C-alpha cells in the first residue's frame, strides 16, 4: 500500500496502488450508482415504457397525460411553484441585507447577528413545525400577546400555503446567508473604497460594484433553495393545507396511501424536470469550486 504524500496533481505512486484505490472506493461508488443514478434513469424509463392495453410494452405517455389533465394534480403543481417562487424571493430579500451587514460590520453585535442567522441549521424541521404551531397556530403565543394587548386575533397561517412557506424560509435562512456571505468575500474593500472616493452613494455602490460581483452566488443560493423547497416534505406535510398539497406530500400520499407507484414516480420525474436547470447549475458551481481548491 502506497502512503506517499498528498501529491494530488502529480501522481508518483507505484502502479500497485491502482487496483487498491479502485477497490477502496468501490463500495460507496457502487452505492451511488445503484441508489442515485440507476433510480433516476429507471424512473424516467418505467414511466415512459409501459405495458399497453394489448399487453405489449411500448412508449406510453399515459401517466403524464393523466397528471397534466388532472385538475387536482395541476393545482398541486401550481401551489408548489407558487410557494417555491415566493419563498425564494423572500429569502433573497431577507438574506441579502443580512449578508451585506455581516460583510462590512465587525462589531460584537455582528457576530451575534451571524450566530442567530446560522442557528436554524441546528433546529430540525420537525421541532420548527411544532414551534410554528405553538407560536402562529390558533391560540398560539402570538394570539396570547395580541389578546393581552386587547387586539384582535390573527388569521393563522397554519394549514394554509403560508404555513410551509414561512417554515421553509426560516429553514433556509442559514445556508442562503452563508452562501451570499461567501460570495461577498470576493468583493474587495479596495474596490468599495475606490467607488466611495469618487462619490458613489450606497445605492450605486450596491448596484454597480457589489451586485455584479455576487451574481453567481445569488444564483447558487437561489438554486439551492429552489431544490430544497420544491420537493420539501416535512414542513408542507405538517403545516400545509390538506388540499391542494405541495408535491412532496402529494408524492408520498400517492406512493404509500394510494399504492400507486407509477403515478408517484411520474410526479417525481415531473419535479425533476421543473428543477433540472437549477440542479445542473448548482452541481456545476459545486464542482467548479471543488476543482478551484
Interface of this chain with another protein, residues 162 to 181, rule: CB under 8 A: 170, 173, 175, 178-181
CB 121 within 8 A of CB 174: yes
Is residue 98 part of the contact set for another protein (CB under 8 A)? yes
Is residue 151 part of the contact set for another protein (CB under 8 A)? no
Looking at 68-76, 85-93, 198-206, 226-234, which segment touches another protein (CB under 8 A)? 226-234
249 has which bridge partners?
none
Per 3-state DSSP, what percentage of the chain is helix, strand, and coil (rounded to 5)? Answer: 75, 0, 25
- To another protein, the closest distance from the beta carbon of 42 in angstroms equals 6
Q: Which residue has 453567481 as its cell numbers?
A: 216
Closest among 253, 270, 276 to 67, alpha carbons compared: 270
> What is the distance, to the nearest Å, from the Cα of residue 286 to the centroid of all Cα atoms in its chain?
14
Is residue 22 part of the contact set for another protein (CB under 8 A)? yes
Q: Which of residues 242-261 bind another protein (CB under 8 A)?
A: 247-248, 251-252, 255-256, 261
Measured in degrees and rounded to the nearest 5, phi and psi for residue 188 equal -80, 150
Residue from 182, 192, 195, 205 in contact with another protein (CB under 8 A)? 182
Number of residues that bind another protein (CB under 8 A): 122
Residue from 73, 88, 103, 230 in contact with another protein (CB under 8 A)? 230
Looking at 50-58, 59-67, 197-205, 216-224, which segment touches another protein (CB under 8 A)? 216-224
Looking at 58-66, 128-136, 194-202, 203-211, which segment touches another protein (CB under 8 A)? 128-136
Q: Name which of 54 and 86 has its Cβ closer to another protein.
A: 86
- To another protein, the closest distance from the beta carbon of 254 in angstroms equals 9
Looking at 55-63, 70-78, 192-200, 282-290, which segment touches another protein (CB under 8 A)? 282-290
∠ CA 78-73-282, rounded to 5°: 55
CB 128 within 8 A of CB 171: yes
Is residue 240 part of the contact set for another protein (CB under 8 A)? no
CB 83 within 8 A of CB 164: yes
In whole angstroms, how far apart are CA 189 and each of 157, 251, 280? Answer: 43, 48, 32
- To another protein, the closest distance from the beta carbon of 23 in angstroms equals 8
3 state SS of 58: strand
Amino acid at each position: 500500500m502506497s502512503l506517499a504524500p498528498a501529491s494530488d496533481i502529480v501522481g508518483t505512486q507505484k502502479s500497485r496502488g491502482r487496483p487498491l484505490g479502485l477497490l477502496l472506493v468501490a463500495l460507496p461508488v457502487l452505492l451511488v450508482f445503484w441508489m442515485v443514478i440507476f433510480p433516476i434513469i429507471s424512473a424516467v424509463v418505467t414511466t415512459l415504457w409501459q405495458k399497453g392495453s394489448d399487453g405489449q410494452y411500448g412508449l406510453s405517455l399515459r401517466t403524464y397525460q393523466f397528471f397534466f389533465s388532472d385538475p387536482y394534480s395541476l393545482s398541486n403543481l401550481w401551489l408548489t411553484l407558487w410557494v417555491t417562487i415566493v419563498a425564494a424571493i423572500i429569502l433573497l430579500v431577507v438574506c441579502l441585507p443580512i449578508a451585506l451587514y455581516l460583510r462590512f460590520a465587525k462589531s460584537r453585535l455582528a457576530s451575534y447577528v451571524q450566530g442567530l442567522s446560522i442557528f436554524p441549521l441546528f433546529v430540525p424541521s420537525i421541532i420548527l413545525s411544532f414551534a410554528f404551531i405553538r407560536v402562529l397556530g390558533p391560540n398560539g403565543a402570538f394570539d396570547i400577546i395580541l389578546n393581552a394587548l386587547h387586539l384582535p386575533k390573527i388569521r393563522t397561517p397554519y394549514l394554509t400555503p403560508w404555513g410551509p412557506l414561512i417554515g421553509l424560509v426560516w429553514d433556509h435562512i442559514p445556508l442562503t446567508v452563508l452562501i451570499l456571505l461567501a460570495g461577498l468575500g470576493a468583493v474587495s474593500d479596495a474596490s468599495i473604497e475606490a467607488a466611495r472616493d469618487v462619490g458613489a452613494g450606497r445605492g450605486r455602490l450596491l448596484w454597480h460594484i457589489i451586485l455584479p460581483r455576487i451574481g453567481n452566488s445569488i444564483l447558487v443560493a437561489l438554486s439551492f433553495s429552489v431544490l430544497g423547497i420544491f420537493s420539501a416534505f416535512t414542513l408542507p406535510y405538517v403545516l400545509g393545507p390538506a388540499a391542494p398539497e405541495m408535491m412532496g406530500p402529494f408524492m408520498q400520499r400517492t406512493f404509500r396511501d394510494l399504492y400507486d407507484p407509477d403515478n408517484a414516480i411520474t410526479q417525481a420525474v415531473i419535479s425533476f424536470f421543473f428543477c433540472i436547470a437549477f440542479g445542473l447549475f448548482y452541481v456545476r458551481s459545486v464542482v467548479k469550486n471543488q476543482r478551484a481548491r
